[in-house]
Amino acid sequence: MKRGDLRHAIDDFSEAIRLEPKNAEAYNNRGVCYTDMGDLDRAIGDLDEAVRLKPEYAEGLYDRGRAYSGKGEYARAIADFTEAIRLKPEFPDAYCWRGFAHVYMGEADKAVADHSEAIRLKPDFLQAHMGRGNAHLLGGKIDQAIEDYTKAIRIDPNCADAYVTRAAAYWKSGSTDAALRDCNRAIQIQPSSARPYLVRANIYEDMGEKGKSDEDFAHAQRLAAPLGDVKADR
- Please give the model's pTM, rounded to 2 decimal places: 0.90
Mapping DSSP to helix (H, G, I), strand (E, B) and coil, where does residue 228 land? coil
Q: Give the per-residue pLDDT at 2.
A: 60
Q: What percent of the chain has pLDDT over 70?
A: 94
Mapping DSSP to helix (H, G, I), strand (E, B) and coil, where does residue 90 land? coil
- pLDDT tens column, 159-210: 999 999 999 999 999 999 999 999 999 999 999 999 999 999 999 999 999 9
Ordered domains of the chain (ranges, CATH): 1-75 (1.25.40.10), 90-156 (1.25.40.10), 159-234 (1.25.40.10)
| Average pLDDT rounded to a whole number, residues 40-45 | 98
Q: Give the per-residue pLDDT at 230.
A: 43
User: What's the 3-state SS for 42-62?
Assistant: HHHHHHHHHHHHCCCCHHHHH
What is the rounded CA–CA span in Å between residue 215 and residue 204? Answer: 10
Q: Give the per-residue pLDDT at 195.
A: 96
| Average pLDDT rounded to a whole number, residues 133-141 | 97
Q: Is the pLDDT of residue 233 over 80?
A: no
- pLDDT tens column, 91-108: 999 999 999 999 999 999
What is the rounded CA–CA span in Å between residue 38 and residue 35? Answer: 5
| Average pLDDT rounded to a whole number, residues 116-127 | 98
Q: How confident is the model at residue 226 (pLDDT cuts 50, 70, 90)?
A: low
| Average pLDDT rounded to a whole number, residues 4-32 | 94
Among residues 33, 29, 86, the alpha carbon closest in space to that of 60 is found at 29
